[in-house]
């Protein structure tokens, strides 16, 4: 398995020189500054690639080449957006970058209610609290029908939290949820979020699946021509959010993505944290089942609560059997005879991470701890083969 590290480019508070000290050999990044729907210019890709090479790395995975929201909504007149997307693919391939991670979550990317939840023995982690999410949807956004999406006991806790929370706590909750906006630089206030949500009125799960199928039909043939592979990222969390459907949350969903365009270039990013937040998902089994279509892996762990809440655990300490997942991936590698790039996904903010103020979930020390733990598992399993 090939060790990589997510780097947010020149905007990142973590330098490539620091990443080098983690032991990772590949970089996962994107041109985050390019507005969605515009072409990634060949010279901009080359400049970023040269920067990565000069630091002693290879650019292994694009995460992500974003899908414009108009495509997810299935609007009319999408030809120019698809043409721009294919041109960006060609420009990436011309620079030797051939693995693209993307997601098809409407409006929001990952969603958390707490960016700095305390963990035992010090440090903080990302957390999704079901009652806080319910309070946000029901009492702050006032979304029609939101009450129907939560159990009575969760709604009771949501009401109690909302009645006790002042403006500062509500602002912190809004900021945490908005941190999951793609690109994570623009933010909505409550009124702007209500307006943004109206653009998705009536969008069903079937609609979103059809729109994903059209996207794949537009890009996978080009990927085949260019020698590229695509790997969809699962929903995070694996449930509908703000009334918006999500369609990559379990094994059945993933198989439906593969069936939409049945080609090896249409693959999966195995995110053990996103999928692990759904208690029905058996991650080692999914790694074996979909092994031939796994082109990239995000390895992290979560600890689940019965009400649907969860928080980021240490990489070996949550509810997912990470050793079994890695064992399955190593077996897939041996069969395929090609390495699977993986990165230590999310980490606790530890020690000096708190002062650094890196992107939420992407601290230096916490991820380095995670990478070290994962590296140890890989080494031990390889020794036993």
Question: pLDDT by residue (tens digit) across 184-214?
Answer: 456 789 999 999 999 999 999 999 999 999 9
Question: pLDDT by residue (tens digit) across 311-367?
Answer: 999 999 999 999 999 999 999 999 999 999 999 999 999 999 989 989 999 999 999
Q: How far apart are CA 114 and CA 174, in angstroms?
A: 10
Q: Give the active site residues.
A: 233, 271, 298, 345-346, 362
Q: Do 242 and 101 share a structural domain?
A: yes
Q: How far apart are CA 328 and CA 230, in angstroms?
A: 21
Q: Do 91 and 118 share a structural domain?
A: no
Q: How far apart are CA 315 and CA 186, in angstroms?
A: 30
Q: Do 351 and 215 share a structural domain?
A: yes
Task: Determine the structural domain holding residue 154 and report its residue range.
Answer: 114-198
Q: Give the domain-ending residue among 173, 198, 223.
A: 198
Q: Give the domain-ending residue among 198, 216, 251.
A: 198
Question: pLDDT by residue (tens digit) across 53-100?
Answer: 999 999 999 998 999 999 999 999 999 999 999 999 999 999 999 999
Q: Do 158 and 27 share a structural domain?
A: no
Q: Do 301 and 283 share a structural domain?
A: yes
Total domains in the chain come to: 2
Q: Do 122 and 102 share a structural domain?
A: no
Q: Do 239 and 130 share a structural domain?
A: no
Please check whether residue 246 is in contact with residue 105, taking contact to mean a CB–CB distance below 8 angstroms: yes
Q: Do 133 and 19 share a structural domain?
A: no
Q: What is the reported pLDDT for 186?
A: 65
Q: What is the reported pLDDT for 362?
A: 96
Q: Give the domain-ending residue among 175, 198, 221.
A: 198
Burial class (CB in 10 A: 0-12, 13-18, 19+), 143: middle
Report which secondary-structure segment, H or E, holds 209.
Answer: helix 205-226
Q: Do 183 and 212 share a structural domain?
A: no
Q: Do 327 and 300 share a structural domain?
A: yes
- What pTM was computed for the model? 0.96
Q: Do 175 and 291 share a structural domain?
A: no
């Amino acid at each position: 398995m090939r060790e990589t590290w997510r780097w947010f480019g020149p905007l990142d508070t973590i330098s490539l020189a620091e990443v080098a000290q983690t032991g990772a050999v590949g970089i996962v990044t994107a041109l985050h500054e390019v507005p969605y729907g515009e072409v990634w210019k060949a010279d901009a890709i080359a400049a970023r690639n040269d920067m990565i090479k000069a630091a002693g790395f290879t650019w292994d995975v694009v995460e992500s080449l974003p899908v414009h929201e108009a495509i997810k909504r299935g609007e009319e007149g999408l030809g120019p957006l698809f043409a721009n997307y294919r041109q960006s693919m060609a420009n990436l391939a011309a620079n030797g970058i051939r693995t693209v991670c993307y997601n098809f979550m409407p409006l929001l990317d990952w969603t958390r209610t707490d960016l700095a939840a305390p963990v035992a023995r010090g440090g903080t982690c990302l957390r999704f609290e079901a009652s806080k999410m319910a309070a946000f949807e029901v009492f702050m956004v006032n979304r029609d029908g939101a009450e129907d999406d939560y159990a009575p006991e969760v709604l009771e806790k949501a009401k109690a939290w909302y009645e006790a929370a002042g403006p500062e706590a509500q602002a912190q909750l809004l900021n945490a949820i908005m941190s999951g906006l793609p690109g994570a630089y623009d933010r909505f206030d409550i009124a702007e979020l209500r307006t943004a949500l109206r653009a998705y009125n009536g969008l069903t799960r079937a609609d979103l699946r059809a729109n994903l199928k059209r996207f794949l039909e537009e890009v996978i043939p080009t990927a085949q021509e260019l020698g590229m592979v695509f790997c969809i990222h699962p929903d995070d969390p694996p449930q509908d959010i703000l009334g918006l459907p999500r369609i990559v949350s379990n094994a059945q969903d993933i198989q439906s993505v593969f069936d939409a365009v049945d080609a090896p270039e249409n693959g999966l990013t195995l995110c053990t944290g996103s999928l692990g937040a759904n208690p029905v998902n058996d991650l080692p089994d999914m790694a074996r089942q979909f092994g031939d279509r796994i082109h990239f892996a995000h390895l992290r762990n979560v600890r689940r609560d019965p009400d649907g809440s969860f928080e980021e655990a240490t990489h070996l300490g949550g509810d997912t059997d990470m050793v079994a997942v890695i064992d399955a991936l190593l077996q897939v590698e041996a069969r395929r005879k090609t390495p699977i790039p993986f990165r230590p996904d999310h980490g606790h903010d530890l020690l000096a991470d708190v002062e650094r103020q890196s992107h939420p979930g992407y601290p230096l020390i916490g991820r380095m701890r995670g990478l070290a733990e994962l590296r140890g598992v890989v080494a031990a399993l390889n020794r036993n083969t």
